């Protein structure tokens, strides 16, 4: 394997880890000594580089990152577990968990347009076997068409044992502004939203364990849980979608997000792109031109850097 192939392998590994934690990762480009690629989350962006030293060891260069909260989170991945060993450490983290368990995941946090959707699903051994036969896995590995089909089946198999909460763009912007006035971050909002679906599902099922894809310091979510939620064994881990409960939740959340995004676009007679790309900026400009800047409060997460670029 040559230097570039090794660097690409490392890129794929980092890409999966960052995507699992709410970052958007752009395609890499080759530079003199390896690869370089931009990453984004909310209104923040940074650059990561990968290179191979003289001893043939592939290294991750985080020196281009600033001192923001997002940068510290990325560095913590490297410092706590050495990004190259993530899979090895994760495999021993929660593999001894027993059923039943709940899984919570969200969709839309990296998308400028559309809602933030959070889902929580209860899974026991019988439900897991049925979901496995349906081909349930991380929603990021499935097409929107496939997600639509599988989501229908998940709702049947897990009837009465799941919760989906949608926060519309307008409501999201109100909540975000409130959290910002209280000197809180997006991670606090996400923790509040996850806590909400977890607590709602606990009203329907009895369960002692919930798995959540890690998006911040674990104490943020724990602090957001109410009395019943605090009794849970809360497991927060990167790549949590490898657990059936979280994978099912990711599909239900993405299904609702995609459907609502489509309806929102039809309401304003425009196709609303996913993510936070140049196409998103152009569509936002089109909407502002057709209506006014106030339209963004109704269709987009206005704290994104995209708003500043219009």
Q: Read out DSSP for 104-157?
A: EEEESTT-SBS-EEEEEEEE-HHHHHHHHHHT---GGGS-HHHHHHHHHHHHHH
Q: How many domains does the chain have?
A: 2
| pLDDT tens-digit map of 219-229 | 889 889 988 88
CATH of the domain at 229: 3.30.420.10
CB-based contact 279:111 (threshold 8 Å): no
Q: Check whether residue 20 and residue 61 sit in a common domain.
A: yes
From residue 102, give the alpha-carbon distance in Å to each of 109, 119, 233, 248. 21, 10, 10, 10
Q: Which residue has the higher pLDDT, 156 or 2?
A: 156
Q: Check whether residue 245 and residue 155 sit in a common domain.
A: yes
Q: Give the C-alpha separation, 53 to 59, whole Å.
A: 7
Q: Check whether residue 98 and residue 237 sit in a common domain.
A: yes
Is the confidence at residue 143, as pLDDT, over 60?
Answer: yes
Q: Phi then psi for 66, rounded to 5 degrees? A: -85, -160
Q: How many C-beta neighbours within 10 Å does residue 298 have?
A: 16
pLDDT score at 86: 41
Q: Which residue has the higher pLDDT, 19 or 196?
A: 196
Closest C-alpha to 89, from 22, 13, 23: 13
Is the confidence at residue 61, as pLDDT, over 80?
Answer: yes
Q: What is the DSSP letter of 113?
A: B
Calculate Rg over the CA atoms of the chain. 20
Is the confidence at residue 98, as pLDDT, over 90?
Answer: no
Closest C-alpha to 108, from 52, 164, 31, 177: 164
Give pTM, 2 decimals.
Answer: 0.73
Q: What is the DSSP letter of 26?
A: P
Please, how many CA atoms are within 13 Å of residue 50, restricted to the half-sphere of its CB? Answer: 24
Q: Check whether residue 60 and residue 145 sit in a common domain.
A: no
Q: Check whether residue 100 and residue 180 sit in a common domain.
A: yes
The owner of tokens 């019943």 is 228
Q: What is the mean pLDDT of residues 279-292?
A: 94
Is the confidence at residue 196, as pLDDT, over 90?
Answer: yes
Average model confidence (pLDDT) for the chain?
86
Is the confidence at residue 30, as pLDDT, over 90?
Answer: no
Give 227's contacts (C-beta < 8 A, 6+ positions apart). none
Which residues constitute the domain of residue 60? 3-89
Q: Which residue has the higher pLDDT, 5 or 193?
A: 193
Q: Which residue has the higher pLDDT, 28 or 120?
A: 120
Q: Of 62, 89, 116, which one is at a domain's C-terminal end?
A: 89
Q: Of 262, 279, 305, which one is at a domain's C-terminal end?
A: 262
CB-based contact 213:93 (threshold 8 Å): no
Is residue 130 assigned to a domain?
yes
SS3 196: helix
Q: Give the C-alpha separation, 157 to 29, whole Å.
A: 44
């Amino acid at each position: 394997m040559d230097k570039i192939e090794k660097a690409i392998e490392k890129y794929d590994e980092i890409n999966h880890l960052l995507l699992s934690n709410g970052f958007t990762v752009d395609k890499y480009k080759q530079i003199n000594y390896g690869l370089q690629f931009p990453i984004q989350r909310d209104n923040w962006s940074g650059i990561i580089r990968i290179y191979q030293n003289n001893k043939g060891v592939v290294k991750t260069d985080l020196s281009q990152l600033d001192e923001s909260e997002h940068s510290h989170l990325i560095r913590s991945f490297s410092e706590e577990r050495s990004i190259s060993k993530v899979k090895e450490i994760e495999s021993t983290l929660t593999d001894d968990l027993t059923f039943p368990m709940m899984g919570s995941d969200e969709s839309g946090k990296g998308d400028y347009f559309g809602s933030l959707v959070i889902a929580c699903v209860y899974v026991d051994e019988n439900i897991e076997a049925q979901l496995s036969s349906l081909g349930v896995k991380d929603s990021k590995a499935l097409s929107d068409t496939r997600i639509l089909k599988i989501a229908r089946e998940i709702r049947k198999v897990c009837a009465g044992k799941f919760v989906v909460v949608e926060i519309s763009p307008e409501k999201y912007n109100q909540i975000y502004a409130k959290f910002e006035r209280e000197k809180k971050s997006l991670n606090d909002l996400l923790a509040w939203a996850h806590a909400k679906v977890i607590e709602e599902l606990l009203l329907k099922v009895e369960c002692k364990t919930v798995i959540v894809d890690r998006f911040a310091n674990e104490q943020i979510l724990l602090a957001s849980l109410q009395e019943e939620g605090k009794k849970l064994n809360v497991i927060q881990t990167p790549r949590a979608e490898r657990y059936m409960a979280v994978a099912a939740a990711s599909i239900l959340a993405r299904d609702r997000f995609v459907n609502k995004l489509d309806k929102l676009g039809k309401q304003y007679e425009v196709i609303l792109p996913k993510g936070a790309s140049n196409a998103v900026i152009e569509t936002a400009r089109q909407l502002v031109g057709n209506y006014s800047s106030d339209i963004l409060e109704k269709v987009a997460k206005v704290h994104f850097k995209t708003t500043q670029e219009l």
